[in-house]
A and B are shown apart, each in its own frame.
Chain A
Amino acid sequence: MLHSETGRAGARLRLPQGLSAFGNILKFLWKSPTSAFGLIVLGFLIATALLGPLLAPYDPYAQDLQNTLQAPSTAHWFGTDELGRDILSRLLFGAAITLRIIFLVTIVVGPIGMAVGTIAGYFGGRVDTVLMRITDIFLSFPSLILALAFVAALGPSLNNAIIAIALTAWPPIARLARAETLTFRKADYISAARLQGASSARIIWKSIVPMCLPSVMIRLTLNMATVILTAAGLGFLGLGAQPPMPEWGAMIATGRRYMIDSWWLVTFPGLAILTVSLAFNLLGDGLRDALDPKQMNRR
């Protein structure tokens, strides 16, 4: 329903309409305590990522060998690690890394998935078969294992981890974009554009991509929890961000050695991962409800 309306309104009117729809969705999400929690955590994450350097009480890389493995205290709320670095400061700086992963994965996965999906859906036939077969092959792996293999091939580093995650995260987006494309491929305004002599590339870019955008954005949000967990898993296995970078998964990996005596080394970074991924999951859940027409009517 949303599609046909925005479709007829044309490209220029779409933006403000989209914005107000976005506002409505936010309002809906705010009403449910669980998705409100998700929103708050997400806002908090963004704020920390931007303001981390100002908020952090210490330099996240500054070693203090006099004060290693200190339990949480008023001086170090979350304690210190094996090199005497302040864990709270490292967590705050780590937020920026998490956000960077999310951002980069999104801007890689969105376009790839969108391109494959819309092209497959628009042209159909053999193009569709080939592209969807490739998508299925990628889908036939658990994402972490495929990401592991890619990182192994590319060499361990944060950027390679991001590339590997992106390479494994596009297939569901492509499937979605294809399904969306199929629903309005035959629509009158597409035929009209074709009759006016618009090229296929132009039709896909100007008419189809904007229509797929909302649902693709939502799907990307839903996937974020998985992305965060995969990135943390790669960091934990030593295949993602490398020490001394304060990436949360890598922090847990180094803290593991001191775990029995110094629980705070692994506990706080783990809680940070859990909180953020839970926030995305709750938000995704709320979004699903928000976009379910039956639920919207109940407002």
Chain B
Amino acid sequence: MRNPRWLSAALNQAATIGVTLLGLLILTFVIGRIMPVDPVRAIVGEEATREVYMNVYQQLGLDKPMWQQFLFYLRDVATLDFGTSLRTGQPVLDDILHVLPATIELATFAIVIGAGIGIPLGVLAAVNKDRWQDHAIRVFSLMGHSMPIFWTGMIGLLVFYAALGWVGGAGRMSQFYIGLVPDRTGFLLIDSALAGEWEVFRSAVNHLILPAALLGYSSSAYITRMTRSFMLDQINQEYVTTARVKGLSERKTIWSHAFGNIKVQLVTIVALAYGALLEGAVLIETVFAWPGFGQYLTSTLRMGDMNALMTCVLLVGVIFIALNLLSDLLYRVFDPRTR
């Protein structure tokens, strides 16, 4: 008897995702169409004859009505054909797959740092609600939320790289090591470890730490605030009193009982924060010359590279939908009450 209900929930979910995806495609299609770039000109060049121009014009299907063009677009996307980048001359998908690992590496480190700062601070703020710790944490985290990350990146480089020399500068590793490690997974830390090149590995960590820390700090604001409010909900629950009555220390009561009950919610929050990191990544990658998705996106923008731009925007949307779905699933798996 449980099956149909489970099934209809899944179908409902799938339908919602389908509609959102379709909307996403319409949005990217519209953005592509209103771009002030002539895709034909970009392919054939300025000197092409009118005949060549018209030929390509028809090849691209631009003479067809809009709705038909949209159907072509849908077909292309369904077959994972995102066209060729006007800037690099490579298929857009290859380009993106090539740059994505660098961003994932950065974002993953950042979220680990962000959650590592944000969650304990949020708990501390909740336990000390309205005391000085709470106020100090609030200002600290709002500060992280208010920083223009591209600027903090520069100041960070000025202080920790140029003045103190504690961390590596721009790029994923020192110039000296570039090309030394074979590109197997695209994740430099993994590749260098696989190759046993520990010098490169150290250099990579050195270069990663500053942008990841800054990105993490900026995302910790949201994590701190949500952790605090989740914890405040739990602290006044009766089961927390039960834990105290049992003779558990305050630390154990908070961390092993109250905190245990917000873990599932936190997973959701961290997943969403991970998606939001993409935003900061676009800016910080520009500052740190990080050869990732963010930099690819910004150079795409500057060149008016239509295919690449549409695909980048689509990808970000899909990542967001996927993260939302993932956090939903995690909720179901980890919370005994939803099983």
Instruction: List A residues at the B interface (Cβ < 8 Å).
Output: 34, 133-134, 136-138, 140-146, 148-155, 225, 229, 232-233, 236-239, 249, 252, 256, 259-260, 263, 266-267, 269-270, 273-274, 277-278, 280-282, 285
Would you mind naming 13 contact pairs between A and B with Cβ atoms under 8 Å apart? Answer: A134-B23, A140-B24, A144-B283, A148-B282, A229-B146, A237-B298, A249-B150, A252-B150, A259-B157, A273-B151, A274-B143, A274-B146, A277-B147
- A48 vs B148: C-alpha distance when bound (angstroms): 21
Q: B225's closest neighbor in chain A, by CB? A: A285
| B135 with A34: CB separation less than 8 A | yes
| A267 with B155: CB separation less than 8 A | yes
B276 beta carbon closer than 8 Å to chain A: yes
7 closest pairs, A vs B, by CB?
A270-B151, A137-B23, A142-B279, A278-B146, A277-B146, A144-B279, A152-B301
Known interface pairs A152-B309, A225-B145. Does A140 touch B138 (Cβ–Cβ under 8 Å)?
no
| A133 with B20: CB separation less than 8 A | yes
| B150 with A236: CB separation less than 8 A | yes
Q: Which residues of B contact A285 (CB under 8 A)?
A: 138, 142
Q: Which residues of A contact B19 (CB under 8 A)?
A: 133
- A281 vs B146: C-alpha distance when bound (angstroms): 7
- Closest CB-CB distance, B279 to chain A, in whole Å? 4
Q: Which residues of B contact A282 (CB under 8 A)?
A: 139, 142
- Closest CB-CB distance, B64 to chain A, in whole Å? 21
Q: Which residues of B contact A225 (CB under 8 A)?
A: 145-146
B209 beta carbon closer than 8 Å to chain A: no
Per-residue 0/1 for B14-55: is the Cβ within 8 Å of any A Cβ (1 yes, 0 no)?
000001100110011001101110000000000000000000
Q: Which residues of A contact B142 (CB under 8 A)?
A: 278, 281-282, 285
List 14 additional contacts besides A140-B320, A140-B324, A148-B301; criterion CB under 8 Å. Answer: A34-B139, A140-B321, A141-B316, A148-B298, A151-B301, A225-B146, A236-B151, A237-B283, A237-B301, A252-B148, A270-B152, A273-B151, A274-B146, A285-B138
Q: B316's closest neighbor in chain A, by CB? A: A145
- Closest CB-CB distance, B61 to chain A, in whole Å? 20
- Closest CB-CB distance, B305 to chain A, in whole Å? 9
| B278 with A142: CB separation less than 8 A | yes
B313 beta carbon closer than 8 Å to chain A: yes
- A183 vs B155: C-alpha distance when bound (angstroms): 47
- A197 vs B118: C-alpha distance when bound (angstroms): 54
| A260 with B27: CB separation less than 8 A | no
| B150 with A233: CB separation less than 8 A | yes
| B36 with A155: CB separation less than 8 A | yes
Per-residue 0/1 for B299-334: is the Cβ within 8 Å of any A Cβ (1 yes, 0 no)?
011101000010001001100110010000000000
- A269 vs B146: C-alpha distance when bound (angstroms): 14
Known interface pairs A266-B151, A277-B148. Does A152 touch B158 (Cβ–Cβ under 8 Å)?
no
Q: B32's closest neighbor in chain A, by CB? A: A153
- A263 vs B157: C-alpha distance when bound (angstroms): 11
Known interface pairs A149-B313, A281-B145. Does A140 touch B20 (Cβ–Cβ under 8 Å)?
yes
- Closest CB-CB distance, B155 to chain A, in whole Å? 7
B56 beta carbon closer than 8 Å to chain A: no
| A273 with B148: CB separation less than 8 A | yes
Known interface pairs A149-B309, A252-B151. Does A278 touch B143 (Cβ–Cβ under 8 Å)?
yes
Q: Which residues of A contact B283 (CB under 8 A)?
A: 144, 233, 236-237
| A266 with B278: CB separation less than 8 A | no
- A26 vs B56: C-alpha distance when bound (angstroms): 63
B154 beta carbon closer than 8 Å to chain A: yes
Q: Which residues of B contact A148 (CB under 8 A)?
A: 282, 297-298, 301
| B34 with A154: CB separation less than 8 A | yes
| A270 with B148: CB separation less than 8 A | yes
Interface centre among A148, A150, A151, A252 (most CB of B within 10 A): A148
- A150 vs B32: C-alpha distance when bound (angstroms): 10
Q: Which residues of B contact A34 (CB under 8 A)?
A: 135, 138-139
- A155 vs B301: C-alpha distance when bound (angstroms): 10
Q: Which residues of B contact A278 (CB under 8 A)?
A: 142-143, 146
- A151 vs B135: C-alpha distance when bound (angstroms): 38
| B320 with A266: CB separation less than 8 A | no
Q: B141's closest neighbor in chain A, by CB? A: A281
Q: Which residues of A contact B150 (CB under 8 A)?
A: 232-233, 236, 249, 252
Interface centre among A138, A232, A239, A281 (most CB of B within 10 A): A281
- A163 vs B129: C-alpha distance when bound (angstroms): 40
- Closest CB-CB distance, B100 to chain A, in whole Å? 15
B216 beta carbon closer than 8 Å to chain A: no
| B313 with A260: CB separation less than 8 A | no
Q: Which residues of A contact B297 (CB under 8 A)?
A: 145, 148
- Closest CB-CB distance, A243 to chain B, in whole Å? 15
Q: B150's closest neighbor in chain A, by CB? A: A236
| B278 with A145: CB separation less than 8 A | yes
- Closest CB-CB distance, B326 to chain A, in whole Å? 14
Q: A34's closest neighbor in chain B, by CB? A: B139
| A232 with B148: CB separation less than 8 A | yes
Q: Which residues of A contact B24 (CB under 8 A)?
A: 137, 140
- Closest CB-CB distance, A271 to chain B, in whole Å? 9
| A145 with B155: CB separation less than 8 A | no
- Closest CB-CB distance, A12 to chain B, in whole Å? 39
- A143 vs B275: C-alpha distance when bound (angstroms): 11
| A143 with B154: CB separation less than 8 A | no
Known interface pairs A140-B24, A141-B316, A237-B286. Does A153 touch B158 (Cβ–Cβ under 8 Å)?
no
- A151 vs B297: C-alpha distance when bound (angstroms): 13
Q: Which residues of A contact B316 (CB under 8 A)?
A: 141-142, 145
